[in-house]
Amino acid sequence: MKSFDAIVIGAGQAGPFLAARMVEKGMKVALIERKFLGGTCVNAGCMPTKTLVASARAAHVARNGAVYGVNLQGEIAIDMKVVKARAETVTMNARNGLIGWFAGMDGMTVIYGHARFEGPKTVGVNGETLTAPRIFLNVGARPVIPDLPGINDIDYLTSTSIIDLDTLPRHLAVIGGSYIGLEFAQMYRRFGAEVSVIEHGPKLASREDEDISDAIADVLRSEGIDIHTGASDIAFARSSHGITVATDSARIDASHVLIATGRKPNTDDLGLDAAGIITDKHGYITVDDRLATNVDGIWALGDCNGRGAFTHTSYNDFEIAAANLLDGDDRKVSSRILAYALYIDPPLGRVGITEKQARASGRKIMISTRPMSRVGRANERGETKGFMKVIADAETKKILGAAILGIEGDEVIHGIIDAMNAGTTYPALQWSVPIHPTVSELIPTLLGDLKPV
């Protein structure tokens, strides 16, 4: 049996950085990863997909160059092999950077293999048993494959496997109208494929307010994406042309199908029962406000704990654990103000609660909206789709939430994120003097238009 001061299972966005901090403190740490360092973000999520989004935007801008007085001769050609290779390079650079970083750390042992608990303090991997007083789980999540008629008879894609595609689909059918599916839908439409989005629910991006969801749908439809919401009886069958996707109201002749119906935690094959670790009905590891499981000395970080499904929340889990265990602090998950983005173009930046949630809370609230067509930067760029929206508490004057669907919305939202984290009231933020011409300069004006509802 090999002994360590700490064992980290999974090398996503929380575990490796926590391991590095513990090594800096002179601890002996084992980092176990069954596949690739960097987790979903580096290998199958943020980095490769946003690289693909950038290639798709380049195609879109080139295709619309005449609007800006830039005339290109002939059709815009997409070399999907180059597109894929570029994304792969970005991934490999990040992965190899982690490999090199860990190789230079005394006290860090990186083990590639499938770890399983043998007891509360022991883990088996590659035929060996490891033990440590502290064990951290950062095992991430994977795509959910729904049990739909005919799904096992077709060769479907997931958000992981589609990244390896180096040819352009004739017609991509995306099953699922949430964040991952919508990003791939617009991306492949811009590459030149016909695209259909099939969503069981009544609207796209169901987490958002109805006006945001409607605006997202308008953006995608304006680029020629076919959207089917409220779809039921979804079924698949092979055809002479590829794959037939049938619903209660549509029949789609697709060449490729992307399943984007959610993700589930990678917790079903870790031997959690042997350690006595409790999970909820969806397989997420139950943790307290400081990310500790029900078993003393075991913590769960990142996607597998169900407290956040983003790279930045996973990294914040690392920050919370490190602050509490290594720096004598007392940080809590409940103090985190959730923010995220949807990387269609234009992007959606979101923070805090929605209008629907604010109304349901019973607070006296104020709301303001402003179309992106009123933003100078948007007009100068010729990108006026979308709008800004902010919700505030009428009594405390604190900002409760905001959504910016529009050019640079994923960056502009950070001004509001920072204000909310600092506890700044909206009247104080109104008196900031933003730079002109930017998208952010409209935030004081947006706040000035807040009205009670």
CB 40 within 8 A of CB 12: yes
Helix, strand or coil for residue 405? strand
Q: What are phi and psi of 61, to 5 degrees?
A: -65, -45
**Which of these, 398, 401, 402, lies nearest to 427 by C-alpha position?**
398
**Which of these, 387, 421, 388, lies nearest to 402 by C-alpha position?**
388
How many CB atoms lie under 10 A from the CB of residue 327? Answer: 12
Distance, in Å, from the CA atom of 149 to the CA atom of 156, rounded to the nearest integer, reads 13
Distance, in Å, from the CA atom of 177 to the CA atom of 329, rounded to the nearest integer, reads 41
Burial of residue 167, with CB atoms counted within 10 A of its CB: 0-12 exposed, 13-18 middle, 19 or more buried: exposed
- List residues bridging with 117 in a β-sheet: 123
Q: Are strands 251-254 and 242-246 parallel, antiparallel or unpaired?
A: antiparallel
> Which DSSP category does 163 fall into?
G
> Which DSSP category does 65 fall into?
G
Helix, strand or coil for residue 389? strand
Q: First CA to last CA across the chain, in angstroms?
A: 64
Helix, strand or coil for residue 162? helix
Distance, in Å, from the CA atom of 58 to the CA atom of 95, rounded to the nearest integer, reads 25
- List residues bridging with 112 in a β-sheet: 33
Catalytically active residues are: 436
Residues 6+ apart with CB under 8 A from 127: none
**Which of these, 43, 13, 46, lies nearest to 139 by C-alpha position?**
13
**Which of these, 392, 401, 406, lies nearest to 346 by C-alpha position?**
406
Q: Are strands 226-228 and 339-342 parallel, antiparallel or unpaired?
A: unpaired
The one-letter code for the residue type at 150 is G
**Which of these, 136, 131, 114, lies nearest to 15 by C-alpha position?**
136
